[in-house]
Chain A
Amino acid sequence: METKNQTKTTAVKGTLTAGMIRELVRNIYRSAHEAKAQGKKVAYFMVASQYDEIVRAMDIVPIPTENYAGLCAAKRDMERFLLRAEEDGYSQVLCSYARIGLGFDSLRKELGKIPENAPDGGMPEPDMMLGSSAVCDPRFKWYQAAGRYLNVPSYSIDVVAPPVQADLNEVRDYYIRYQTEQFRGLIAFLEEQTGKKLDEDRLWETIKLGDEAWRLWYEIDRLRVAVPCPMPTQDHFSIMVAGHYYCGTQVAVDFYRQLYEEVKSKVEEGQGVIPVEKYRLLYGGGLPPWHTLWIFNYFESFGAVFVIENVYRGYDPVEVPSYVKDPVEYLAWRAFLRFTQRHERARKNSGHPVVERLLQLIDDYKIDGVVFHACRSCRATTVGQIHIKNLLGRYTDIPMMQLVSDMVDLRDYSEAQWKAQIGGFIDALSARSKR
């Protein structure tokens, strides 16, 4: 059963190290179950909330509910959870990650145990839920709503970023102050829940590990400028697990070190993802189609390889001023610098930080075409893609296209339509390369 599903959804990967991810994912849920059994604290947790290192420093075992939703989709076992949430009154167009999460919680509550054969053993009941306003709105509302099924405390923090127009010198101080306060609120909550104080040295340690993992990840991506490309986007969608779900641990650092070595040797040996690289593509944005990752191999059958992407590794390493001596302030500074990395440039050029990033990638990675993925139920990563595409079009004439489906909900996906659209896109790439 499992093998059959796997071939339906997953893609053939470019690197061997990426193959280790499957075990890391299993381990997320296994660790959570073990921790529960040992009486350790387990928390529902939102990816990219900038609080990872705090959670790790407090020895709380995270259950990334979004990842679980993606996992269900990759296993093509999402229907029962989606439908359950819809029965409970949640809209069919609500974030499908949230629907899967809520549907899962609802079923687990009703059954009094984990739903039968849930992927990777299912998510155990958490001791708490940690929401955040980073990336999108559903990320704090979802856990608020989950209160219907779980009588556990929840805590959400704001994660703020100034708009591109803002004069950073005017707003920097109060943005960082607020962010710091929000982290402190979270820490106070976690201290109350765990009955122990945060150890600052330990927090510095997890921060160092987090930074090191993200630095290595960045270096790996820099290696991918090589022609032919040593690691494709489908690998990225696996290996991001280390950076996001193991951030602040040695596991992530070790994993990226190993991956770095592999990618580096591929570059040295001139080994590419496909033998003949006709077109180098940029995955311009949007969550991956977890249900249909093989689509990347389909592109490859036309000689088109996705060499870099604008999702999950949303920022490059930043330098927090050395006078910041407090680890919590450090985290707030780091978040601010990450989010405003391309603001100055954008103000001078396109007026849009993401466009700046894409332009830079197009240049560095010798990109021939850009593909966006619109997810019908994810506003945060979808709304604005057309706009970005329009703005990009003012600076480059490479072909671009937007595929539409959802990150998990298959009802929004049509294979025939995608194939037709991809065919047209490949034609455009070929026409341009002949010019």
Chain B
Amino acid sequence: MTATEKLKKIYGERPKRTRELKEEGRKIAGYFCCFVPEEILSAFDLVPFRLQGNPKDPVDQADAFIEPMACPFARSCFNQALKGNYDFLDAFIAPHSCDTIDRLSNIWFHNRPVSFNHLLNVPHMRERGAEEFFRSELNYLVKCLEEWTGKKLVLEKLRETIRLSNKKRALLRNLYELRKKDPPPVSGAEMLEVLVAGMGIPVPEYVNLLTQYVEEVKSREVKSISLRPRLFLWGNAIDDSTFVQLVEHSGTWVVMDDLCTGSRSFWEDVPETSDPMEGLARRYLNVPCPRSNYPRTGHREVDLESRFGYVGAFVSSWKVGGAILYLIRYCDTCELEGPDLKDYLNKKGIPVLMLEDDYSLTTLGQLRTRVQAFVEMITGVV
């Protein structure tokens, strides 16, 4: 089997590979979002498993525990847990990413407790002691993990897992680089699947697969086909490729993203500081997520540039002709961020389609109509 096939299989059968690892005696640590350092989990020999929902499976049990006005992604995740689909977890670590995840974690701890349950506080601000505070929170997480596993954290091992995760990041950036080509050798949907496949297996295993996969992608013969608009996708937890497929089947390429299942999850390396916890705290605190605050630095233009400058760099380097902002309904931070990002991109001459969706595939028909109209509109532009 090629690495391409293997990754596709892992994605398609998720979490089968994780279950196998569990059967082989590995301990599995489930976590949410982009704020729990996988390096720490790996250093304790835990398999980091990024918790995800299932938009194909209607939320049918969670209502008895969590309100319908909670983030549908979070509800879907918990619904999976209620159905026993996450019964392989040994540890559950929720970062305080947003109100919903914070509330959900307590619901989860009570109703589907696993052997180790932990809430990691993550500052919303980035200055005035935020990094030091987050470092203390990480140290406290380590202490709790030590108590639970009965093992001391070996700093050298942590340095090693940091190096390895950075290697993974480099490989992924490498793949994203390849998507600068036109047409890109990897579609946005395939890229997402490759990313999600890596979110439930040990990092060394993923690094091996990726190394091979990058070579396979490089050797792909890309036929020059008719020019399609190149899109940028922004949002949060898109962990199923169906939506991206829909966008690409409408005659586009999704070539770049800022998703918490995409570039947001791996773009920046962890700096190799002498105290590894320092590098981890800095790196994870600065994940550019709407749930965190960028202090206002000047008038509107300056403010937008300081908040979205990295997006500006993405869209120009990847030669993007349009952007889709995919907001998950009831996610207040995204809903407050969306219009600002739209303004910012529009000023750069990038047309923007802002969609609000409920993380289920029942709305695909409506989404398709809106995406198609958008694509028609921008095909005239690019």
Establish whether residues A351 and B109, one from each chain, have CB atoms under 8 Å apart when the complex forms. Answer: yes
Task: Tell me which residues from 347 to 380 in chain B have a Cβ below 8 Å from any Cβ of chain A.
Answer: 354, 356
10 chain-A/chain-B pairs, Cβ below 8 angstroms: A89-B339, A136-B99, A140-B125, A145-B337, A163-B119, A174-B132, A379-B99, A383-B99, A383-B103, A384-B103
Chain B contributes a number of interface residues (CB within 8 A of A) equal to 59
Shortest A143–chain B CB gap in Å is 8
Given contacts A89-B354, A95-B332, A379-B330, 12 further A-B contacts (CB under 8 A): A137-B98, A141-B293, A141-B336, A147-B300, A154-B296, A158-B124, A160-B123, A165-B119, A177-B133, A351-B110, A374-B67, A379-B100
Task: Report which residue of A157, A178, A185 has the largest number of chain B beta carbons within 10 angstroms of its beta carbon.
Answer: A178
- Interface status of A65 (Cβ within 8 A of chain B): no
Establish whether residues B133 and A174, one from each chain, have CB atoms under 8 Å apart when the complex forms. Answer: yes
Shortest B336–chain A CB gap in Å is 4
Residues of B with C-beta under 8 A to A20: none
- Interface status of A17 (Cβ within 8 A of chain B): no
Task: Tell me which residues from 107 to 136 in chain B have a Cβ below 8 Å from any Cβ of chain A.
Answer: 107, 109-110, 117-119, 121, 123-125, 127-130, 132-133, 136
- Interface status of B223 (Cβ within 8 A of chain A): no
Known: A133-B125, A171-B140. A387 touches B332 (CB 8 A): no
Known: A156-B293, A165-B118, A387-B106. A148 touches B332 (CB 8 A): no
- Interface status of B272 (Cβ within 8 A of chain A): no
With the chains together, A379 CA to B137 CA distance in Å? 25
Establish whether residues B296 and A165, one from each chain, have CB atoms under 8 Å apart when the complex forms. Answer: no
Contact with B along A119-141 (1 / 0, CB 8 A): 00000000000010100111011
Shortest B60–chain A CB gap in Å is 15
Shortest B71–chain A CB gap in Å is 8
With the chains together, A94 CA to B332 CA distance in Å? 6
Shortest A206–chain B CB gap in Å is 22
With the chains together, A345 CA to B121 CA distance in Å? 21
Establish whether residues B66 and A182, one from each chain, have CB atoms under 8 Å apart when the complex forms. Answer: no
Establish whether residues A386 and B133, one from each chain, have CB atoms under 8 Å apart when the complex forms. Answer: no
Closest 8 CB pairs of A and B: A181-B129, A89-B339, A178-B133, A185-B128, A174-B136, A163-B119, A141-B336, A384-B103
With the chains together, A376 CA to B67 CA distance in Å? 9
Closest to B296 in A: A154
Known: A141-B333, A147-B296, A374-B67. A383 touches B121 (CB 8 A): no
With the chains together, A163 CA to B71 CA distance in Å? 20
With the chains together, A98 CA to B106 CA distance in Å? 26
Residues of A with C-beta under 8 A to B299: 151
Establish whether residues A178 and B340, one from each chain, have CB atoms under 8 Å apart when the complex forms. Answer: no
Contact with B along A158-174 (1 / 0, CB 8 A): 10101111100011001
Q: Which of A95, A141, A163, A166 contacts B290 (CB 8 A)?
A: A141
Residues of B with C-beta under 8 A to A133: 124-125, 293
Shortest A65–chain B CB gap in Å is 14
- Interface status of A88 (Cβ within 8 A of chain B): yes
Closest to A354 in B: B106
Shortest A394–chain B CB gap in Å is 10
Known: A145-B340, A170-B140. A385 touches B125 (CB 8 A): no
- Interface status of B177 (Cβ within 8 A of chain A): no
Shortest A22–chain B CB gap in Å is 31
Task: Report which residue of B124, B296, B336 has the largest number of chain A beta carbons within 10 angstroms of its beta carbon.
Answer: B336
With the chains together, A93 CA to B68 CA distance in Å? 12
Shortest B153–chain A CB gap in Å is 16
Residues of B with C-beta under 8 A to A184: 128
Known: A164-B106, A178-B132. A148 touches B99 (CB 8 A): no
Residues of A with C-beta under 8 A to B225: none
Establish whether residues B106 and A142, one from each chain, have CB atoms under 8 Å apart when the complex forms. Answer: no
- Interface status of B64 (Cβ within 8 A of chain A): yes
Residues of B with C-beta under 8 A to A292: none
Shortest B158–chain A CB gap in Å is 20
Contact with B along A82-125 (1 / 0, CB 8 A): 00000011110111001000000000000000000000000000
- Interface status of B310 (Cβ within 8 A of chain A): no
Establish whether residues A141 and B332, one from each chain, have CB atoms under 8 Å apart when the complex forms. Answer: yes
- Interface status of B215 (Cβ within 8 A of chain A): no
With the chains together, A128 CA to B324 CA distance in Å? 32
Q: Which of B69, B107, B340 contacts A376 (CB 8 A)?
A: B69
With the chains together, A40 CA to B216 CA distance in Å? 66
With the chains together, A31 CA to B328 CA distance in Å? 40
With the chains together, A303 CA to B307 CA distance in Å? 55
With the chains together, A156 CA to B333 CA distance in Å? 15
Shortest B208–chain A CB gap in Å is 37
Q: Which of B64, B105, B303, B335 contacts A147 (CB 8 A)?
A: B303
Establish whether residues B67 and A383, one from each chain, have CB atoms under 8 Å apart when the complex forms. Answer: yes
- Interface status of A327 (Cβ within 8 A of chain B): no
Establish whether residues A144 and B336, one from each chain, have CB atoms under 8 Å apart when the complex forms. Answer: yes
With the chains together, A431 CA to B327 CA distance in Å? 46
Residues of B with C-beta under 8 A to A89: 338-339, 342, 354
- Interface status of A155 (Cβ within 8 A of chain B): yes
Establish whether residues B332 and A160, one from each chain, have CB atoms under 8 Å apart when the complex forms. Answer: no
- Interface status of A193 (Cβ within 8 A of chain B): no
Q: Which of A131, A160, A181 contacts B121 (CB 8 A)?
A: A160
Known: A91-B329, A170-B143, A383-B100. A142 touches B336 (CB 8 A): yes
Known: A174-B136, A182-B125. A144 touches B296 (CB 8 A): yes
Establish whether residues A374 and B69, one from each chain, have CB atoms under 8 Å apart when the complex forms. Answer: yes
Closest to B304 in A: A147
Shortest A145–chain B CB gap in Å is 5
Establish whether residues B66 and A177, one from each chain, have CB atoms under 8 Å apart when the complex forms. Answer: no
Establish whether residues B129 and A182, one from each chain, have CB atoms under 8 Å apart when the complex forms. Answer: yes
Shortest B76–chain A CB gap in Å is 15
With the chains together, A7 CA to B46 CA distance in Å? 61
Residues of A with C-beta under 8 A to B333: 137-138, 141
Establish whether residues A178 and B339, one from each chain, have CB atoms under 8 Å apart when the complex forms. Answer: no
Residues of A with C-beta under 8 A to B148: none
Establish whether residues A156 and B329, one from each chain, have CB atoms under 8 Å apart when the complex forms. Answer: no
Closest to B117 in A: A165
Known: A144-B336, A383-B69. A352 touches B106 (CB 8 A): yes
- Interface status of A391 (Cβ within 8 A of chain B): yes
With the chains together, A342 CA to B337 CA distance in Å? 35
With the chains together, A377 CA to B67 CA distance in Å? 11
